[in-house]
Amino acid sequence: MLTKIDILSLRNSLMKFIKEELHPIKRDLQVLNSEVKIIKKDNTKIRKDVSIIAEFFDTEYLDLRKRDERIEDHLNLPPIQ
């Protein structure tokens, strides 16, 4: 049977282990968490930039497509399939 002194000794040993072994892991996780937040923010910005670029080139493509159709009509050329 364990006495109060044995239990306190075990508790102190466990607390010492937690402080020495688990606190550095907790710090590392906090650092990783802050880095993940930065990556998420960058990812959001990249997605927004890609969306803007895609929209720009889509508009440019449509404008060029209209010009191409006008040229084909003017020169009586059959459209290329």
Q: How many Å is the Cα radius of gyration of the chain?
A: 33
Residue-averaged pLDDT of the chain? 91
- What pLDDT shows up at residue 74? 94
> What is the Cα–Cα distance from 36 to 58, expressed in whole angstroms?
32
The answer, yes or no, to whether residue 42 has pLDDT greater than 90, is yes
The answer, yes or no, to whether residue 34 has pLDDT greater than 90, is yes
> What is the Cα–Cα distance from 81 to 71, expressed in whole angstroms?
16
Please enumerate in sequence order all residues whose Cβ is within 8 A of that of 72, keeping only pairs 6 or more positions apart, or say none. 78, 79
- Tokens encoding 36: 């993940």
- What pLDDT shows up at residue 21? 86
% residues pLDDT > 90 (the chain): 68
- What's the mean pLDDT in 68-72? 92
